[in-house]
Structure 1
């Protein structure tokens, strides 16, 4: 009797209020639950506890009484299986949708996974139309196909694995330098120097504004004596080397790791307009062997770290993208890298029965076809090529003052499948020789500050640079450099 009388006074407003209270209560309960990553859930660390998982649906399988989902949040190559009652099915619960799940982690009866999440509540936080979604469930899309969708390709297994490898490789490189006493230097992105001397530069100037303001600014700059924002022409950096040389006048070992830019009109598999460089400079050294040793140790230590900490992600590439490449990586790690001189390299090329597109006479620069042949000739083990012709190296390379060939104390590291990975040299610390070369090139006024480095406490030093994307290509076996960088920049293409 009491219940029926009470129900007579329940208005629609009360029903709405009760629903709101229930919803708020559920949201509060969700917030109190421990949020865990898919990686931690799969490790069984939270087995038996109530948890919250947020991620994206990789597969949906509905049965009469149960709903099975595979969900991933980018923390792991393997997804987490969600088991739910069929009444939790939602129209928006499709492949590619983003969901928020709460439930308990339980031991799975299946041999394919250790744990599964028994869901109590599933909320679709971001719907996805599987018809228009460019990636289809259970399809293995090629790297060329997913490259068409730079805004979505991080959702695929292959590219999310690449990004985890890239992140771990970054940490490995940083750890290597820290463990070996190098000081990290943040070299500038905007510079007035053309380190490489090739002229492939992006010039930096303010964007065009309204005409009236532009004219006013131009007049103001002309009154100040320069039409440039920084008073001198400035460019996006092609290398942090010269800035590292400055720092090598105060620290025994320094390095930088950041973006560099080359305005090369190329859409090849080997070149990008924006890429990342690892560069190091070592003071108090007169030997290329010191530079070579750091290059080889950096490569091996970083690669071993990645293979240990990203085993599943690396295996995905070696199994499905570049089958059989793991054997090549293991060979590189197990063997000491070869060392030959440039002169020996030219002799090897000239004795070859292979026909090359580019000439192989002494004095020419080695091309990719030459570099790959030399690596193959040396047993598919990385090879250092030393003592290049003096005339084809930049002004800062140390003069060997030798004969009959005139060479510079420069070295390149060539690796399988890629060709040149690292390039370095001893730097010319002798003031008279450096001044003479800059004068010959008409650069003495431009690099007065560089000459001053040799006047005030200069020491013999040298260094190298390693292309980070080429390193990833080398260890994963990826053929196209555009597939190892989050957002590829190259001529006639700047999507996003």
Structure 2
């Protein structure tokens, strides 16, 4: 290959490179030929194999020991049949093992490994406080006391596999629909929701703060701002950042952690949770957003139920969730058109039944969780979009409804079991109106970059946020959101 720059001619001679062949052979041979339990049940190739995992059950019969092993790859367990003379010392429930032997079907037509050799990898000291026993169901409250060991339980390991598959499903569906994934910052200088429910971030190092104050000649009272030059928070939403990128890539989304400093320990709130957020440019009105939400919800539930039904059914069985009842809820979501009503219509429905509630609905204010769940029940379990919200109940960036200056083009999607699953809206695209709103909130200097977006090739955008853990609750019928995430954080609880 050659090209000419001025009077100089450059010639490149390229050699084809095979990446696989260029790597040392030991790189490819360093991984032992270990079969996963999932591959054993899907390939059905019998013969000599090697397996590894954790013991979840032990039974003794005459001269044989039957050991049930799980390796986390699927909800199924694998039986190891071991001669008592080959059993290592201190083998027990909860221990980790490696074994080799003949994969076969026994007289009961069950797959098993007739073990030639078994090694104890890690003892499980049952008498030193191990909180779980084999074939013993536990209350979720008990499991939450040991979140570092909770993944070892069958129900929660199943939950983690399903969570992983849902994460992949959302990414695959959005990618196929032309959305680009954007990594939004966890650290931010804005409170997107405007509720003041933010966690502030600063170095936990007094000597560093003193040095930076001295170096920059900053007053002591500004030490919260010394590191970044302004107060910095853990993000409550990536929406404002997505708005910026949507004006270049049109359809964007993020799926990452968000944080709320809300003093709530309810079954539906966490201090740290994951949120799927999407932003779309060139939209017309709130109906465009509602259509995207409804289609994504239906397509994701359908794909998850179709591809991972075995794992989901196993989870229902392990947790005692009523399978048919939960599937009826999901089938209603899949097969019925979502209902759309205005805030005023929703308020009138609630107001007529105000004596049913612990807290009366208040005009022009947001609805409580009992109000949201009642509206879904009133709608026969069909998800319901509530639109045209009072302006004072929503953040500053919502666009006013045409001919209704006191209402904004915002939407909440209410669903069974969780109430609000999604919240979104159309963003104010008028420069002058947005400037007035920012000045009213005393945010014009802090969010000057956000206002500037309306000055350079501006378009109308809109989007939504969906709580990832609440989606898990909806899909699986999980009562408490703390049982949907590996390491839950809530007020007075931040273990590990």
The C-alpha deviation readout for 1:194-247, integer Å capped at 9, x for no partner, is: 1000011111111124x5x55333312335996420111110000000000000
- 1:434-445 pair list within 5 angstroms: 434-445=434-445
- SS state of the match for residue 267, structure 2? coil
Q: Would the alpha carbon gap of residues 32 and 458 (structure 1) be closer, same or farther in structure 2, given more than 3 Å must change?
A: closer
What is the alpha-carbon distance in structure 2 between the residues aligned to residue 347 and residue 164 of structure 1? Answer: 43
Alignment of structure 1 residues 265-344 onto 2, 5 Å = 265-319=263-317, 320-323=319-322, 324-344=325-345
Kindly tell me: are residues 63 and 379 of structure 1, through their superposed partners in 2, closer, same or farther at Cα, counting changes over 3 Å?
same
Query: Which residue is equivalent to 2:7?
Result: none
Shift in Å, 1:49 = 2.5
1:409 alignment partner in structure 2: 409
352-361 or 306-315: bigger deviation: 352-361
Q: Within 2, Cα distance between the matches of 1:431 and 1:52?
A: 66
Which one of 126, 135, 143 corresponds to residue 146 of structure 1?
Answer: 143
CA RMSD of aligned residues (A): 1.9
Distance across 2 between alignment mates of 1:317 and 1:339: 33
**Any residues of structure 2 matched to 1:157-176 within 5 Å, and which?**
157-176=154-173
- Cα 1:130/1:110, change in 2 over 3 Å: farther
Kept in 2, the 8 Å contact 1:33–1:50? The answer is no
Alignment of 1:46-125 (within 5 A): 46-111=44-109, 113=110, 115-125=111-121
Question: Structure 1: how far apart are the matches of 2:67 and 2:258?
Answer: 42
> TM-score, normalization: structure 1?
0.89
Q: Distance in 2 between matches of 1:104 and 1:161?
A: 27
Query: Normalising by structure 2, what TM-score?
Result: 0.89
For 1:217, the equivalent position in structure 2 comes to 212
Q: Contact 1:252–1:283 at 8 Å: present in 2 too? A: yes
Which residue number in structure 2 is paired with residue 348 of structure 1? 349
**Aligned pair in 2 of structure 1 residues 256, 195: CA closer, same or farther (>3 Å)?**
same
Q: Per-residue deviation at 1:355?
A: 2.4
The DSSP-based 3-state class of the residue aligned with 2:311 is helix
Distance 1:42 1:83 in 2: 17
Name the counterpart of 1:18: none
Question: 1:309: how far off?
Answer: 2.9
* Structure showing greater Rg: 1
Q: Deviations over 1:96-146 (max 9, x none)?
A: 0000011121123224x3x21111110000111234321111111222221
Residue matched to 2:447: 447
Query: Match for residue 200 of structure 2?
Result: 203
Residue number among 217, 231, 234 corresponding to 1:233 in the alignment: 231
C-alpha separation between the residues in 2 aligned to 1:124 and 1:54?
Answer: 10
1:189 aligns with: 186
> Does the aligned pair in 2 maintain the 1:318–1:326 contact within 8 Å?
no
Q: Name the count of aligned residue pairs.
A: 461
Shift of 1:85: 1.6
Q: Measure the CA separation in 2 of the matches of 1:436 and 1:394.
A: 14
Counterparts of 1:196 and 1:49, CA distance in 2: 59
Aligned match of 1:423: 423
Once residues 439 and 130 of structure 1 are traced to their aligned partners in structure 2, the CA distance between those partners, rounded to angstroms, is: 63
How many angstroms apart in 1 are the aligned matches of 2:409 and 2:288?
12
Q: Which runs of 5+ in 2 are unaligned?
A: 1-28
